[in-house]
Amino acid sequence: MKENFDSYSDENDYTASLDRFEEMLKANQSYFFDVEEFEVLVDHYLDKSDTEKAKKAIDFSLLQHPTSSTLKLKKAQFLSAIHKPNKALAILNSLELLEPFNAEIYSIKASIHSQLRQHNKAIENFYKALKLIGEKSEKTNIRISIAFEYENLSEFDKAIDILKKLLTENPKNETVIYELAFCYNLKNDTESSIDFFKTFLNDHPYSYSAWYNLGAAYNRASLYEKAIDAYDFTIAIKEEFASAYFNKANSLALLEEYQKAIDTYKETFAYEEPDANTYYYIGECYEKLDNTELAVTNYYKATKLDPFHADAWAGMAVLNEAQDKSQSAVFYIKKALELENNNSEYWYIYGDILAKTGLHEEALTSYNKVIEYDEENEDIWIDKAELIRDAENLEKGIITLYEGLEKQPKNYLLYARLVAYLLMEGKIDEAVQSLIILLTNDKENVSALIEFYPEAIKFPKIVDLIDNFKEEK
């Protein structure tokens, strides 16, 4: 009963202090508050992002308690929150001279140095705080913070060592488990991540978070069957873990088990509110199954939950275009481009739609946007050349392919298309020179030439050249 009474009393005291302070501000007077009350008031206004009242609370507090180091720390935190880190550090450095054994000073200094990306200084101060802190949980949090700083310095092995020691002390610390997985991911060391979690699970087989992260590591290694097994263990231990169902569904989709993936995505709805991303991935699976109606339905659900889901708008554009609903397709792809104007894939889709509807000039503008945002795209120059050939003439299509080769000299698909165009234009010798480059560097793409322009085999020089290279092989 006493505990409940104290809790009730604390809440009343908190509300009373807040009401009195608000009343004081309105009355433009000065009321007395003790240090603890001012701490609560400052924290309240900072939590509410009301920096104006937080500043007033700090100013009043230091007028009434000018020697309080606690309130000076609050001022440092406030200055940090309003992006004045150097002023905050000046206060903290002064306090450090007066109270060199105050761990909180070093913790706050470390956090500010971290914000300033001075990670070595942050580590130095976190270690100073660590020596002065006695409580185990606080020590753990500080050590995790040190690991974060090593991650920021890309010193992943040092971070991993700290996190492994923490996990040895407390194998149930899920924050550490996830941070270790994240660290291996940053280090791009999937193999070590798999080895670590397999070893860890030998000793702690009921750690659902370890199984989950092992599944994620298997997925990154393209070992999708093993990933699914790991997610199944996760679910067996913690049935309501929605993320495990979601990731399992992703693995099933990558195995092209689309219906199973759909069913698994839907299982997440039993444990969390429907999510736009989940509907989007369900839509993708239905699209792979050629079920256009259900694909569009799920993409639409994604946009209803999240109107800023650009991929869902783009997905509806592609499917509407496939159904010859060009007007709707244009509407949807414009929605996607409004959200991500520099997305080369969306500009490509838009260009294809415009080209199909005969709006060649507008399509060319879109294709040029693709080149602007994704200069490595190997298909765009072929489509741009095809558009120009159809809209203007073959000669300009050839010029476009040469322009593409200046940008992408190792794009041998362009040579295959160039050979075809040159043959169409009757420029046999130029075609032969381009074919020599193609055969010397990428014989396989000769099939792309024949597929696009079967008449190529009617030219004796072309056939002889291809046969000679076959004999050399």
- Whole-angstrom Cα distance, residue 7 to residue 32? 23
* 378 CB-contact burial (10 Å; exposed 0-12 / middle 13-18 / buried 19+): middle
Any domain includes 48: yes
Q: Is 220 part of any domain?
A: no
pLDDT at site 6: 38
Phi, psi of 291, rounded to the nearest 5 degrees: -100, 80
Phi, psi at 459, each rounded to 5°? -100, 110
Instruction: Give the per-residue pLDDT at 472.
Output: 62
Boundaries of domain holding 36:
1-99
What sign results for the dihedral spanned by CA atoms 173, 174, 176, 181? positive
| Distance, CA of 33 to CA of 41 (rounded, Å) | 10
For position 29, what pLDDT does the model report? 82
Q: Which two tokens stand for residue 297?
A: 């339905």
- For 223, 302, 335, the CA distances from 282, given in Å and listed in that order, are 22, 10, 21
Q: Which two tokens stand for residue 413?
A: 């698909």
* Closest to 369 (Cα-Cα) out of 340, 402, 330, 410: 340
Contacts of 391 (CB under 8 A, 6+ apart): 360, 361, 364
Domain-located, residue 263: no
Q: Are 262 and 285 in contact (CB under 8 A)?
A: yes
Q: Which tokens hold the place of 72?
A: 């000076």
How confident is the model at residue 384, as a pLDDT?
Answer: 96
CB contact set of 180 (below 8 Å; sequence gap of 6+): 160, 163, 164, 167, 196, 213
Split the chain (473 residues) into runs of 10 and give each run's mean pLDDT.
37 77 84 87 87 87 87 89 90 89 91 93 93 87 94 94 94 94 95 96 96 97 97 97 97 97 97 95 97 96 97 97 93 97 96 93 96 93 95 92 94 94 93 92 89 91 85 60
Kindly give the interhelix angle for 2-27 and 51-64, rounded to the nearest 10 degrees: 100
Domain assignment present for residue 34? The answer is yes
What is the pLDDT, as a whole number, of residue 473?
53
Report yes or no on 95 lying in a domain: yes
In this prediction, residue 144 carries a pLDDT of 94
Structure tokens at 101: 């054994």
344 located within any domain: no
The pLDDT assigned to 170 comes to 93
Rounded to whole angstroms, what are the CA distances from 442 to 406, 407, 410, 450, 465? 18, 18, 10, 14, 14
**Quick one: pLDDT at residue 10?**
56
Count of the separate structural domains present in the chain: 1
pTM above 0.85, yes or no: no
Residue 60 lies in a domain: yes
397 touches 388 (CB < 8 A): yes
Both tokens assigned to 472: 């050399």
Residue 129 lies in a domain: no
Q: Which stretches of 170-241 are DSSP H helices?
A: 174-186, 190-203, 208-220, 224-237
